[in-house]
Homo-oligomer: A and B are copies of this chain.
Amino acid sequence: MSQLRRGTVGFCVLALLNAREHYAVELVRELAAHQALAAGQGTIYPLLSRLRSDGLVATHWKESPNGPPRRYYSLTDEGRGSLELFRSEWTQFSDAVDTLMKT
């Protein structure tokens, strides 16, 4: 199952950030809510670093009411573009797989 997630987890994160900004641990929890997408911190932190160095997300620090400060991630314009592109690729891809699986 883990191999299935490859290449999509990043875009799922972008989709979550498209709704509103999140900090990393929060993203981990939201992904875990969709069982098939569950990804631990060891997946999320390196992923977020990549998204950031690719310019798809921007970050800013905010104090937490209880605990260490949080780094919040939000979508850049480039991130929104990338998400849009993915949506159309995903549709084609999942349609193709659906078709094949019914064969």
**Which residues 83-103 of A have a CB within 8 angstroms of B?**
87, 89-90, 92-101, 103
For the complex formed, measure the closest distance between the CB of A3 and the CB atoms of chain B, giving whole angstroms: 3
Copies in the complex: 2
With A4-B89, A7-B3, A89-B36 known as contacts, the answer to whether A97 contacts B94 (CB < 8 A) is yes
Task: Say whether A1 contacts B89, CB under 8 Å.
Answer: yes
Chain A interface mostly helix, strand, loop or mixed? helix
Q: Which of B16, B36, B101 makes the CB contact (< 8 A) with A103?
A: B16
Q: Which residues of B contact A35 (CB under 8 A)?
A: 92, 96
On A, residues with C-beta under 8 Å from B are 1-8, 11-12, 15-16, 18-19, 34-37, 87, 89-90, 92-101, 103
